[in-house]
Amino acid sequence: MNFLEKSKEIRKEFIEVGYFFESCNKLFNIELVAENKGFKKKITQNAIHRPGLALAGYLDLFTYNRVQIFGNTEASYLKKLSSTKRIKSYEKFFSFDIPCVIFTNGNEPDSDFKKLAKKHNVSVFKSKYSTTKVVYYLGDFLDDQFANQMTIHGSLVDVYGVGILFVGRSGIGKSEIALDLVERGHRLVADDIILATRKGEGILMGSGTSLIRHFMEIRGLGLLNVEKIFGVRSIRFQKRIEVIVVLEEWNPKTEYTRTGLDSIHTNILGVDIKTVRLPIFPGKNITVISEVIALNYLLQHYGYDAAKDMQERVEKGISKKRKSRDNRVITYFEHDFE
């Protein structure tokens, strides 16, 4: 689809350990053990690593460039070693360029470990939470940080719980439709600049930017703050993008779907999103059509497809080879003259 042509796919190349600490501290309370060193180091991978085998001396395939987690296994193994062996193990571990280390389950590094961490400028954190919990939070946080992102020019509105992304050329009326939908009780996610982020398999989330939030521009009026005008019920901060509506000028030469049996999809960041091409012309109420698109999407989601239903009816009608042409739907109310 051409509306994606100008959008660039982006992915963070790294996050700094300092930023990592700040964000994770908010999420699940990690504490800094050693001094504030190594905050400029870069984390480049969304995966984490348990260095048990590396500490035991098996250093092939040691993924040292990931965040290293020391859980109960690592801590109890290290405790069993003699102090010379332990220091040797530490030295080997720190000979690699480690981004940072987290001790979980309330485990703490010993003084030798702290010394070496300081020497190699590696930040060491600890958490009172279990390894499973830390891994869960970390995985989620790092996945989000390193997710593929894209900025898309359009408007994203939650219509009856369905995230509809309106796209089309500048000035075609995306903001006006979004405003109309908000006025009818639907919720604006963002107008103009949509940040699309891929979450897991097959999920595309959309949100606005921190600067614009829920401001929008309406030609002839200027800038509006939707949250201030319509209140908190009229907005939301993120929404899964489920349907794309491409607004186009009516072109008699273009063929539009008439049955809805042939659905089109747009691939954004590897996620296929159902797409509707909507020709606009004066007198056409795009807002109501958008609501119907959302409701129809919900029906399909719950297993009902109007186009398929109609197709089956026609097929049934054909196979009956009806001789009589009694086509009226109502036979019971024959004497109802109302």
Partner 1 sequence: MIQKEVKIINRAGLHTRPAAIIVKLASKFNSEFYIYQNDLSINGKSIIGVMTLCAEQGSKLTLSFEGEDEEEACNEISAYFERGFDEL
Binding site for partner 1 (CB under 8 A): 6-8, 10, 149, 151, 153, 169-171, 191-193, 209, 211-212, 215-217, 223
Which residue out of 86, 192, 198, 236 is catalytically annotated? Answer: 192
Sign of the Cα torsion 285, 291, 295, 298 reads: positive
Active site residue 112: no
What is the smallest separation between the CB atom of 216 and partner 1, expressed in angstroms?
Answer: 7
Residue 93 token pair: 């571990």
Return the number of the residue (212 or 298) whose C-beta is nearest partner 1. Answer: 212
Residues in the chain: 338
Residue 317 φ then ψ, to 5° = -60, -40
Could you tell me which of 52, 55, 20 has the C-alpha nearest to residue 38? 20
Shortest distance in whole angstroms from residue 164 CB to partner 1 = 19
Residues 66, 86, 126, 174: which is the catalytic one? 174
* Paired strand residues for 162: 159
Active-site residue identified among 50, 92, 153, 277: 153
The CB-of-251 to partner 1 minimum distance in angstroms stands at: 17
326-335 contacts, C-beta under 8 A, 24 or more apart: none
Closest CB 219 distance from partner 1, rounded Å: 10
Considering the complex, what minimum distance in angstroms separates the CB of residue 80 from partner 1?
Answer: 48
Identify the helix (H) or strand (E) that includes residue 43.
strand 42-43
- SS3 letters for 220-231? CCEEEEHHHHHC
Q: Which is nearer to partner 1, 2 or 84 (CB)?
A: 2
Classify strands 203-207 and 238-240 as parallel, antiparallel or unpaired: antiparallel
- Distance, C-alpha 254 to centroid of its chain: 33
What order do you get walking across the sheet with 123-126 strand by strand?
A: 31-32, 123-126, 100-103, 67-70, 48-49
174: annotated active-site residue: yes
3-state DSSP call for residue 338?
Answer: coil
258 in active site: yes
CB of 336 to partner 1, least distance (A): 56
Give the span between the Cα atoms of 243 and 195, in whole angstroms: 15
> Is 19 in contact with 123 (CB distance < 8 Å)?
no
Residue 133: active-site member = no
Residues 6, 253, 258, 316: which is the catalytic one? 258
- DSSP classification of residue 327: -
Closer CB to partner 1, residue 211 or residue 318? 211
Q: Which residue's CB is nearer to partner 1, number 149 or number 238?
A: 149
**Nearer to partner 1 among residue 7 and residue 238 (C-beta):** 7
Distance CA 48, CA 255 (A): 50
Which residue, 191 or 242, is less far from partner 1 as judged by CB? 191
Annotated catalytic sites, by residue? 153, 174, 192, 258
